[in-house]
C-alpha cells in the first residue's frame, strides 16, 4: 500500500525553480545530464510506503522540458528513494524518451535475474546504493553482494551515494567489485574543508582506480547553500583534471531535500563551463563519457 502524497507523517521537500535561467553557453551536441529524477505523478505512480520524504510531482514531461531548455539531449534518470523498488515511473520515462534516456535502479533482496533483465530491456544500466544516514544508511552486505551478482553479467555499473568521509573505508570493497562504480555528487564532500581535506584527496585518488567514476553533480550540496555555489567550482575543476575520461556531469533535478537555495539549472550548466573551460574536455565529460558508460548510440 502506498502513502497518500499528502501524508503528514512524511516530510515534504521543496519544488524546483519554476523558471530556471537559460545557460549562457551552448552545450555540445549529445550533452547528457547523468543525474536527474522523475517523481510521480503520484496519482499514476504512487510514492512508496516507508519513504523518508514526499516530493512534489516532477513528471517526465517537465524533466524533458527542462532538458530542452538547457540544451541537454540525453539523460540518466536515477531511481529515487521516494519510489522505493517500484520502477514504474522510471521505466515510463525511459520509454517516453525513445532511447534518449537511460536509468539507474534501486534493487533489494527481492531482485531476481528476471526482474533485472526486464529493467535492462527498459533501458536501465546501473544500480544505486545509498550509504548516507538520511536515506537509511549502509545497505545490508548480503543484499549488496546479491545485487552485484545479478547486474555483473549485464555489464551494469554501481552508483554509490555516500559522504566523503566514508570513501577510504569503502574503497577496498569497491575496488574489488567486478563492475565499474560511480561516486555520486562528488562524495558529498564539504567545500569549506578545502581542497586538501582527506575526504577530497581520497576522491582525487580514484584517478588510480580504473573502474572508478565520479559525478560532478550536486555542487550545491558541497557548497555553502548560497547560489551560485561558486565555492564548489575548484572542486569540480580538480576532479575533471584528475579523471577527465571518467567524470560525469549532472543537474540532480528536481533537487530533492536541498537545505539551502534552490539551484538554478541554467546556472549549474554555466558553473560547469567555468570549471571546465577547455571545449574538448567539456565534450568528453558531457558527451563521450556518458555515451561510453551508459551505452548511448
Span 196-222, pLDDT tens digits: 999 999 999 999 999 999 999 999 999
Give tens-digit pLDDT for 54-63: 999 999 999 9
Residue 20 lies in a domain: no
Identify the domain containing residue 170 by its residue range.
Answer: 32-294
pLDDT on residue 139: 78
4 has a pLDDT exceeding 50: no
Cβ-contact 219, 233 below 8 angstroms: yes
Report the pLDDT averaged over residues 22-37.
97
The CB density around residue 123, as the number of other CB atoms within 10 Å, is 21
CA atoms within 13 A on the CB side of 166: 18
Q: What is the CATH number of the domain that holds 74?
A: 3.20.20.140
How many domains does the chain contain in total?
A: 1
pLDDT at 166 > cutoff 70:
yes
Check residue 206 and give its pLDDT: 94
Residue 9 lies inside a defined structural domain of this protein: no
The answer to the question of residue 18 being in a domain is: no
- Which one of the listed residues 33, 252, 264, 265 is annotated catalytic? 252
Q: Could you tell me the CA-to-CA distances from 221 to 42, 157, 200, 232 in Å, in that order? A: 26, 23, 14, 9
Percent of the chain with pLDDT over 90: 83
pLDDT at 1 over 60: no
- Does some domain include residue 68? yes
Give mean pLDDT, residues 269-280.
98
Report the pLDDT value the prediction gives residue 259, as an integer from 0 to 100: 86
In a domain, 13, yes or no: no
Between CA 131 and CA 138 the distance in angstroms is 4
Residue 26 within a domain: no
pTM of the complete model: 0.94
Residue 8 lies in a domain: no
123 near 94, Cβ under 8 Å?
Answer: yes
Other CB atoms closer than 10 Å to residue 81's CB: what's the count?
23
196 as an active site residue: the answer is no
- The answer to whether 215 and 16 are in contact (CB under 8 A) is no
19 belongs to a structural domain = no
Q: How is the chain split among helix, strand and coil, in percent rounded to 5?
A: 40, 15, 45
Amino acid at each position: 500500500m502506498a502513502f497518500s502524497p499528502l501524508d503528514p507523517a512524511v516530510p515534504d521537500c521543496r519544488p524546483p525553480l519554476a523558471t530556471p535561467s537559460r545557460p549562457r553557453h551552448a552545450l555540445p551536441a549529445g550533452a547528457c545530464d547523468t543525474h536527474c529524477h522523475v517523481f510521480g505523478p503520484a496519482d499514476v505512480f504512487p510514492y512508496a510506503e516507508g519513504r523518508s520524504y514526499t516530493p512534489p510531482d516532477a513528471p517526465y514531461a517537465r524533466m524533458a522540458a527542462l532538458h530542452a531548455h538547457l540544451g541537454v539531449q540525453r539523460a540518466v534518470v536515477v531511481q529515487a528513494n521516494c519510489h522505493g523498488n517500484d520502477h514504474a515511473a522510471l521505466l515510463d520515462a525511459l520509454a517516453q524518451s525513445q532511447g534518449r534516456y537511460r536509468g539507474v535502479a534501486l534493487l533489494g533482496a527481492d531482485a531476481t535475474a528476471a526482474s533485472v533483465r526486464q529493467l535492462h530491456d527498459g533501458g536501465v544500466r546501473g544500480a544505486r546504493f545509498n550509504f548516507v544516514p538520511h536515506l537509511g544508511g549502509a545497505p545490508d552486505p548480503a543484499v549488496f553482494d546479491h545485487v552485484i551478482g545479478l547486474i555483473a553479467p549485464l555489464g551494469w555499473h554501481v552508483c554509490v551515494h555516500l559522504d566523503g568521509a566514508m570513501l577510504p573505508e569503502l574503497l577496498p570493497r569497491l575496488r574489488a567489485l567486478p563492475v565499474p562504480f560511480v561516486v555520486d555528487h562528488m562524495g558529498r564532500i564539504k567545500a569549506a574543508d578545502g581542497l586538501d581535506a582527506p575526504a577530497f584527496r581520497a576522491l582525487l585518488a580514484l584517478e588510480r582506480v580504473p573502474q572508478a567514476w565520479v559525478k560532478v553533480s550536486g555542487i550545491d550540496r558541497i557548497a555553502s547553500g548560497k547560489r551560485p555555489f561558486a565555492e564548489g567550482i575548484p572542486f569540480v575543476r580538480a576532479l575533471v583534471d584528475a579523471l577527465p575520461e571518467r567524470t560525469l556531469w549532472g543537474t540532480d533535478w528536481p533537487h530533492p531535500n536541498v537545505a539551502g537555495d534552490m539551484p538554478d539549472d541554467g546556472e549549474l550548466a554555466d558553473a560547469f563551463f567555468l570549471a571546465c573551460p577547455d571545449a574538448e574536455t567539456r565534450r568528453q565529460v558531457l558527451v563521450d563519457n556518458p555515451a561510453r558508460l551508459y551505452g548511448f548510440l
